[in-house]
Amino acid sequence: MSYSMVSVVIGTYINQAVNDELESMGIEAEDAGFEVLYSGGANIQPGYCGVEIYSFDECTDALKVSDIKLHPNSNQMAEATKLFNALDPKVKAVAPPLDVYFVFHTS
Give the residue numbers spanning the domain of 61: 4-106
| pLDDT of the residue at 24 | 97
pLDDT in tens, 30-52: 999 999 998 877 788 899 999 99
pLDDT in tens, 83-104: 999 999 999 999 999 999 999 9
How many domains are there within the chain?
Answer: 1
Question: pTM here?
Answer: 0.90
What's the chain look like in SS3? CCCEEEEEEEEEECCHHHHHHHHHHCCCCHHHCCEECCCCCCCCCCEEEEEEEEEEECCCCCCCHHHCCCCCCHHHHHHHHHHHHCCCHHHHHHCCCCEEEEEEEEC
